Amino acid sequence: MGAIDANACRPGTKLLLDGELYSVLERAHHKPGKGGAFVRFKLKGIVSGKVIDHTVRAGTKMESADVTTQTMQYLYKDGDNFVFMDQKSYEQIMISADLLGFAAKFLTENAEADVTLYEERAIGVQLPQKMAFEIVDTIENPARGNTATNVMKDAEINTGMTIQVPPFINIGDRVRVSTEDGNYVERVNK
């Protein structure tokens, strides 16, 4: 923990504000014709994800947060928790399903993720934007022969999640999927 001048906060700086962690998205210094200068921030909550505006007088000391991000490997699920391992120290940490949220649907054994830590506690997990998965089941499209664009069918990937894929995707194919929204991106050559 340390104090940092509001003027020195740049995008990406991690701040502690009212007990919550934030990352600076934007910073603008304003000097009106009358009165003292001020700094206007756009901050994103690291845990909550909410974006807020925050304004302080220029020269105000902000509380910086010591946040680290490490690449970790997913090992296995233990109840409602997911066990990850630091690839350098081999230390294991448990991350709750609540913290993982939508990302939990894409975890396969040995998958790598960037884990954000604050005071040695996981506060965020970021998967690669796109990951490859094997199709284990497909539900045939009832509109077979339909030549309209964007015709999709349901397919189950090897994590158990159901996604929408084009009709030419078959069981055993590997596909790349966006981990942000679960959308099919492309077929992966074997």
Domain map (residue ranges) of the chain: 2-64, 67-126, 130-188
Contacts of 143 (CB under 8 A, 6+ apart): 151
Distance of alpha carbon 60 from alpha carbon 131, whole angstroms = 43
Neighbours of 68 (CB within 10 A): 10
pLDDT band at 1 (very low <50, low <70, confident <90, very high): low
Inform me whether the pLDDT recorded for 43 exceeds 80. Answer: yes
* Contacts by residues 137-142 (CB-CB < 8 Å, ≥ 24 positions apart): 137/171, 138/165, 138/169, 138/170, 138/171, 141/167
Note the pLDDT of residue 144: 56
CATH number of the structural domain 130-188 = 2.40.50.140
Q: Does the pLDDT of residue 66 top 90, yes or no?
A: no
Residue 128 confidence (pLDDT) above 70: yes
pLDDT of 143: 58
* Shared fold status for 67-126 and 130-188: yes
What does the radius of gyration of the chain's CA atoms come to, in whole angstroms?
22
The yes-or-no verdict on residue 113 having pLDDT over 80 is yes
What's the rounded mean pLDDT across residues 153-178? 92
Average pLDDT, the chain: 87
Helix (H, G, I), strand (E, B) or coil at 183: coil
Query: 67-126: what fold?
Result: OB fold (Dihydrolipoamide Acetyltransferase, E2P) (2.40.50)
What's the average model confidence in pLDDT over 124-130?
88
Identify residue 136 by its one-letter amino acid code. Answer: V
C-alpha torsion sign, points 99, 102, 106, 108 = positive
Average pLDDT over residues 90-97: 90
Note whether 46 and 22 are within 8 A (CB). Answer: yes
Fold of 2-64: SH3 type barrels. (2.30.30)
- Greater confidence (146 vs 105) lies with 105
